[in-house]
Amino acid sequence: MARVNDSYLKLKAGYLFPEIGRRVRKFCDDHPEAKVIRLGIGDVTEPLPSVVCHAMHAAIDEMARRETFRGYGPEQGYEFLRAAIAEHDYRARGCEISADEIFVSDGSKCDTGNILEILGPENVVAVSDPVYPVYVDTNVMAGRTGIADADGRYAGLVYLEATEANGFVPEIPQQPVDVIYLCYPNNPTGMVADRQTLKKWVDYANANRAIIFFDAAYEAFITDPEIPHSIYEIPGARTCAIEFRSFSKTAGFTGTRCAFTVVPKDLAATDSNGNAVPLFDLWNRRQSTKFNGVSYVVQRGAEAVYSDQGRREVKELISFYLENARRLREGLERAGLTVYGGVNAPYVWLKTPTGTTSWQFFDQLLDRAHVVGTPGSGFGAAGEGFFRLSAFNSRENVDEAIGRVGRALA
Ligand code: MLT
């Protein structure tokens, strides 16, 4: 008799964004005249940089000729892309990361979930609260948790609260943990971690032989020169951290799909006999077995992001979304709301009016302003009373949404 993975039955209802999509679809069916503006899921709206498109067209032409056609590529990614990443994202910032420590993939969401396969089930995992739900749900699926309580917190996970009181940057846990997820610039709060904060985590992880999963999917939005873009800017991170990066938000690749994960060769965890095992070897083994790499065409497109023109175009793209974030922040403040984030990040985290829960605010905004956001409680219990708006949209829609929200709250 076939059995399901019971761990899946512990998951709460639907994944957050499809659930929002379902509610919005119902609203649109009931109000077909409404012009709904979607600032919920952080999905890019602006076209790919032209240099990326040219590179992909040229790659297609190569694929069209027998002499330059390519079949399976290296599972870890083509050398041309890995070398460009190592050079521009790491060595240019003084980080010692070599091209062969970079594993190109089709997304950070997949990588942050898949990486759990190479770690034992007994690890104690810490996540911040609020948190990108993928970190939690993939641990539930992997059987690393008990069931969820009434607040949606799963037994066995350690939740580190990110609150107004701690500036949305959680404290180091009191109890020992083995794996820590950090995401900076943060999804959902849009807040950043300074060098000193990251150093505390790296020191903690090295002292406790813990591993940090550092999700830097939004690093391109950092404008403050004092804020680190990579965990490897912190001395000691090579022995305790895996970093996840993506072209999705940086260069508009949410539909094109390309990302990468850095696993330094110095990073090890312990087997059941107490021997140190390099995680590089296990991840390499995992990827070689279960993944056939990202398409050649897409990797050529990603490589073009590092050209002079690519860097200029990406900078313009990021500035465009950051200007949206600034307008959102200031517009919402004018509407009387308390607003966080949105300076070095594409997300604005606002406090819902007193006595209004996150989902109530979601419904109010949808009903009265036809604007979709993401309820803070969808990111965890500590997100209750907050609401996320994404700056990924056209200027016209962002300005229109600000006006509508202001009128709805007046
Ligand atoms: C979000 O809205 O939180 C992100 O778009 C989700 C993702 O990157 O998977």
Q: Which CATH superfamily is domain 13-42+309-409 in?
A: Aspartate Aminotransferase, domain 1 (3.90.1150.10)
Q: Categorize the per-residue pLDDT at 18 as very low, low, confident or very high, splitting at 50, 70 and 90.
A: confident
Q: Are residues 332 and 312 in contact, defined by beta-carbon separation less than 8 angstroms?
A: no
Task: Please indicate whether residue 110, judged by its CB atom, sits closer than 6 Å to ligand 1.
Answer: no
Q: How remote is the CA of residue 355 from the centroid of ligand 1, in Å?
A: 27
Region 326-353: mean pLDDT is: 97
Q: Categorize the per-residue pLDDT at 12 as very low, low, confident or very high, splitting at 50, 70 and 90.
A: confident
Asked if pLDDT for residue 245 goes beyond 90, the answer is yes
Contacts of 95 (CB under 8 A, 6+ apart): 230, 232, 233
Asked if pLDDT for residue 349 goes beyond 80, the answer is yes
List pLDDT tens digits, range 63-118.
Answer: 999 999 999 999 999 999 999 999 999 999 999 999 999 999 999 999 999 999 99
Task: Please indicate whether residue 377, judged by its CB atom, sits closer than 6 Å to ligand 1.
Answer: no
Domain 53-306 sits in CATH 2.60.40.1220 = no
* Whole-angstrom distance, CA of residue 163 vs CA of residue 324: 25
Contacts of 378 (CB under 8 A, 6+ apart): 16, 19, 20, 133, 358
> Between β-strands 386-390 and 241-246, what pairing exists: parallel, antiparallel or unpaired?
unpaired
Task: Please indicate whether residue 109, judged by its CB atom, sits closer than 6 Å to ligand 1.
Answer: yes
Asked if pLDDT for residue 275 goes beyond 80, the answer is yes
Percent of the chain with pLDDT over 90: 95
Domain boundaries, the chain: 13-42+309-409, 53-306
Ligand 1, from 187, 250, 253: best to mutate by most atoms within 8 Å of Cβ? 187
* Peptide bond just before 130 cis, omega within 30 deg: yes
Task: Please indicate whether residue 342, judged by its CB atom, sits closer than 6 Å to ligand 1.
Answer: no
List pLDDT tens digits, range 168-193.
Answer: 999 999 889 999 999 999 999 999 99
pLDDT score, position 19: 82
pLDDT score, position 386: 98
Task: Please indicate whether residue 141, judged by its CB atom, sits closer than 6 Å to ligand 1.
Answer: no
Task: Please indicate whether residue 186, judged by its CB atom, sits closer than 6 Å to ligand 1.
Answer: no
Q: How remote is the CA of residue 134 from the centroid of ligand 1, in Å?
A: 9
List pLDDT tens digits, range 23-45.
Answer: 999 999 999 999 999 999 999 99
Asked if pLDDT for residue 11 goes beyond 90, the answer is yes
Task: Please indicate whether residue 246, judged by its CB atom, sits closer than 6 Å to ligand 1.
Answer: no
Q: How remote is the CA of residue 345 from the centroid of ligand 1, in Å?
A: 13
Ligand 1, from 39, 132, 134, 186: best to mutate by most atoms within 8 Å of Cβ? 132
Q: What is the torsional sign of CA 339, 199, 101, 97? A: positive
List pLDDT tens digits, range 313-327.
Answer: 999 999 999 999 999
Region 40-67: mean pLDDT is: 97
Q: Under DSSP, is residue 130 helix (H, G, I), strand (E, B) or coil?
A: coil
Higher pLDDT, 286 or 22: 286
pLDDT score, position 391: 98
Q: Categorize the per-residue pLDDT at 5 as very low, low, confident or very high, splitting at 50, 70 and 90.
A: very high
pLDDT score, position 107: 97
Q: What is the DSSP string of 301-319?
A: HHHHTTSHHHHHHHHHHHH
Asked if pLDDT for residue 15 goes beyond 80, the answer is no
* Whole-angstrom distance, CA of residue 176 vs CA of residue 204: 10
pLDDT score, position 16: 82
* Whole-angstrom distance, CA of residue 95 vs CA of residue 102: 13
Q: Are residues 212 and 202 in contact, defined by beta-carbon separation less than 8 angstroms?
A: yes
Average pLDDT over the chain, rounded to whole?
96
* Whole-angstrom distance, CA of residue 341 vs CA of residue 244: 21
pLDDT score, position 175: 87
pLDDT score, position 86: 98
pLDDT score, position 266: 95
